[in-house]
C-alpha cells in the first residue's frame, strides 16, 4: 500500500505533474504544464467534496488520467465544431459522402460494442492505444512490462478486428 501524500496543493504539484506526464500521449506532451494546472483544479474540487480522502500516487494518477482524457475529448469536440462551421459556410463541404459517414458511425458503434465486450485488461490497453498512446506509454500507465503490454494490445487488436468483422464491417 502506498503511503499517503502531503495535503497542500503546492506540495502535490510535483507528483501530479509526473502523473500527468505519464498519462499524456506524446502529442500532448508540450501541454503538460497546462494539464497539470487543470489536474490541480480537479484535485482541489475533489478535496473540497471529500476532505478526508486519502491522497495516494494511485489517486493522483487517476486525477491526471481523467484530466488528460477530458482534454482529448474537448479537442475532438472543438475539431467537430470547427468542421461544422466550415460545412455551414456557403461553399460545399469537403469530405466523404453521407453513405460513407453513416457506415463510419456504424463501424464506430461496432468498435465500441466490441471494446465493451472485451476483458477489462484488454479493454484498458486497447482504449489507450486507440486514444493515441504508444505501447511503451501503455506499459507505464497500466504498470505492465513492455512485452506484456505489447501482447495485450496486439492480441486485443486481433480480437477487436474479428469482432468488428463479425458485425459486418471490414477494416
Q: Is 28 in the same domain as 44?
A: yes
Q: Indicate whether 148 pLDDT > 60.
A: yes
Neighbours of 72 (CB within 10 A): 16
Who wins on pLDDT, 24 or 83? 24
Domain of 37 in residue numbering reads as 1-95
Last residue of a domain, one of 95, 124, 139: 95
Quick one: pLDDT band at residue 151, thresholds 50, 70, 90?
very high
| pLDDT value of residue 36 | 92
Average pLDDT (99-125) is 76
Instruction: Quote the cell numbers at residue 169.
Output: 464491417
Which residues, at least 6 apart from 83, have a Cβ–Cβ distance to it below 8 Å? 95
Residues 18 and 72 in one domain: yes
In terms of domains, do 87 and 23 share one?
Answer: yes
Give pLDDT, residue 1: 46
How far is Cα 16 from Cα 19, in angstroms, rounded to an integer? 5
CA–CA distance, 59 with 62 (Å, rounded to integer): 5
CATH number where 75 lies: 1.10.1740
Which value, to the nearest 10 degrees, does the dihedral of the CA atoms of residues 80, 129, 19, 71 take?
A: 0
H, E, C per residue of 28-71 = HHHHHHHHHHHHHHHHHHHHHHCCCCCCCHHHHHHHHHHHHHHH
Residue 170 domain-assigned? no
- Of 71, 95, 119, the residue at which a domain comes to its end is 95
Residue 17: name the closest of 45, 50, 57 by CA.
57
Cβ atoms of 96 and 158 closer than 8 Å: no
- Contacts of residue 113, defined as CB under 8 A and 6 or more positions apart, other chains included, come to 163, 167
Using only the alpha carbons of the chain, give its radius of gyration. Answer: 19
- Residue 73, pLDDT > 60, answer yes
Amino acid at each position: 500500500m502506498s503511503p499517503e501524500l502531503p495535503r497542500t496543493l503546492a506540495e502535490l504539484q510535483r507528483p501530479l505533474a509526473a502523473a500527468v506526464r505519464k498519462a499524456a500521449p506524446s502529442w500532448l506532451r508540450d501541454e503538460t504544464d497546462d494539464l497539470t494546472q487543470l489536474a490541480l483544479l480537479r484535485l482541489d474540487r475533489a478535496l473540497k467534496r471529500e476532505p478526508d480522502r486519502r491522497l495516494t500516487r494511485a489517486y493522483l494518477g487517476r486525477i491526471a488520467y481523467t484530466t488528460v482524457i477530458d482534454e482529448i475529448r474537448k479537442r475532438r469536440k472543438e475539431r467537430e465544431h470547427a468542421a461544422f462551421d466550415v460545412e455551414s459556410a456557403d461553399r460545399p463541404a469537403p469530405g466523404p459522402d453521407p453513405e460513407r459517414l453513416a457506415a463510419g458511425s456504424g463501424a464506430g458503434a461496432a468498435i465500441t460494442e466490441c471494446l465493451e465486450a472485451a476483458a477489462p485488461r484488454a479493454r484498458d490497453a486497447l482504449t489507450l492505444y486507440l486514444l493515441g498512446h504508444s505501447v511503451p506509454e501503455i506499459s507505464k500507465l497500466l504498470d505492465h512490462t513492455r512485452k506484456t503490454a505489447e501482447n495485450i494490445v496486439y492480441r486485443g487488436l486481433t480480437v477487436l478486428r474479428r469482432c468488428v468483422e463479425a458485425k459486418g464491417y471490414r477494416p
